Amino acid sequence: MCTRLLEKTNVMLLTILSLFYAYPALAAQQGPEVLPNPDKPWWFWPLVLLVFCFVLGIIAVLAGVGGGVLYVPLVSGFFPFHLDFVRGTGLLVALAGALAAGPGLLRRNLANLRLALPVALIASTCAILGAFLGLALPTNIVQICLGCTIILIALLLTFSKNVERPEVKEQDFIGKALGMSGSYFEESTGENVGWKTHRTLLGLFLFIIIGIMAGMFGLGAGWANVPVLNLLMGAPLKIAVGTSKFLLSITDTSAAWVYLNKGCVIPMMAIPSIVGLMLGSFVGVRILAVAKPKIIRYIVIGVLLFAGVKALLKGLGI
Amino acid sequence: MKGTTNTSAKASPEQIKYADLLFWGSWFSILLMIITYLVYLAGILDPYVPVDKIQTYWQLPVHEYVEKARIPLGWGWVKFVTKGDFLNFLGIALLGGMTIICFFTLIPAYVKKKDWPFLIISICEILILALAASGILAVGH
């Protein structure tokens, strides 16, 4: 039954995507100055967006990626919205998901304030810079950068091998001074697992880049947070994933405010996106409890590669 | 507190407090967003931007959209909160403001613990987020 549901979900996503490709007005979207006359009733796109985001929410959970990272490339590639609005809404989508998941992660100590706060201060400050940079640059430049970033994310998802419990022999001075350590309860083994960070300075430096990219593209940044926290700084995978999700609630807040204040949020498209993705995530979590389909992850990587190349070509005017 | 390591697997009291406030605030914002969106769709309040024009506007770069639809920047929407579309910004703004509100709960805890590095970090974070939220940066040029 679960397999059938998954098949249906995939078929729905592919049908929606192929529908957009078959829609000539949207195919003409390759050139930014072409504005097709709206020939659909006003409720058409919000409704399609709600259904699309619901399916996206399910797939994001099953593939183990954030909603924002799928939302921006797919919606900017296949919907008639300008990239400015897609990025603004993408940040709100990622923010809503992070805020909804944050409390549970904090209570279980899987998201840790001592690890998150110093990193968040850097990332959120840089996300503001990134948001201004993204809004100041010409759309085609942002499209090219976005395309390259999405391709990079797809490659990262393919080749990055996270470590369950990295070995940290000695904590560095900054990590020690900031008290970046703690422990969590590992349910599978019934033990308390202690952790501490190393290479903290380099990690903090990388969050400058992560913050700028998060603000510039509205993608969320879980795809970058987790490898840095886990592989570089030595946080256990569960702590890295939990803290990363919580971190988004702070990083995306600062960038989202810039987009919001600049007029990049249109409620008609923002609310169905947020609600659709959240509902989809709840259904996705239920499906995940009974099945861990690896194939979904590979489909998502494939779709991301396709969307990345499409954004790149769009930016290059090809 | 400087340099200490939390050896308990339980979350610290300030972390629990932050989580509780975030939980109620976030879900209230999302609920508010859904209600205001339904009010908007039902046409109970007249929208600022006519719904039949939105399809044209959302294809434009944001600066053209702001200019053509005469969209107020920053917190300018508050003056038009009785318009169906701008009413939705109540939930969105609350969602965006929850992190700032939650950070305020950390300050007394870090003062009590004399955890000065984290007190400074929390205050700086509030200032950064408040600066972004204020609209000064967006409207100022």
Q: What average pLDDT does this structure show over B86-96?
A: 94
Identify the weakest region by mean pLDDT among A1-5, A260-264, A303-307, B21-25. A1-5
Count of structural domains within chain B: 1
Residue B18 included in any domain? yes
Residue B76 included in any domain? yes
Residue B8 included in any domain? no
Q: What is the pLDDT of residue A292?
A: 64
Residue B88 at interface with chain A, using a CB cutoff of 8 Å:
yes
Percent of chain A at pLDDT > 70 equals 87
* pLDDT tier, A314 (very low <50, low <70, confident <90, very high otherwise): confident
Residue B106 included in any domain? yes
Count of structural domains within chain A: 1
Q: What tokens appear for B83 in the block?
A: 């318009």
Residues in chain B closer than 8 A to A85 (CB atoms): 58, 62, 65
Q: Tell me if A255 sits within 8 A of A128, measured CB to CB.
A: yes
Which domain range does residue A192 map to? 2-316
Q: How far is B137 from chain A (nearest CA, A)?
A: 8
Which domain range does residue B127 map to? 13-136
- Which among A317, A277, A272 is positioned nearest to A81, based on CA atoms? A272
Residue A196 Rama label (left phi>0; alpha psi -120 to 50; beta): beta
CA distance A6 to A282: 15
Q: Which residues in chain A (22-51) have CB-CB distances under 8 A to chain B?
A: 35-36, 38, 40, 42-43, 45
Q: Taking CB atoms and an 8 Å limit, are A260 and B75 in contact across chains?
A: no
Q: In the block, which residue shows the tokens 């190393």?
A: A198
Residue B105 included in any domain? yes
**Terminal Cα distance for chain A, rounded:** 43
Q: What is the pLDDT of residue A15?
A: 53
Residue B16 at interface with chain A, using a CB cutoff of 8 Å:
yes
Q: Tell me if A113 sits within 8 A of A106, measured CB to CB.
A: yes
- What DSSP element (H or E) covers A182? strand A181-186
Q: What tokens appear for B53 in the block?
A: 């024009």
Residue B1 included in any domain? no
Q: What is the pLDDT of residue A28?
A: 39
* pLDDT tier, A22 (very low <50, low <70, confident <90, very high otherwise): very low
Q: Taking CB atoms and an 8 Å limit, are B62 and A139 in contact across chains?
A: no
Residues in chain A closer than 8 A to B30 (CB atoms): 96, 100, 274-275, 278
Residue B137 at interface with chain A, using a CB cutoff of 8 Å:
yes
Its pTM stands at 0.85
Residue B34 at interface with chain A, using a CB cutoff of 8 Å:
yes
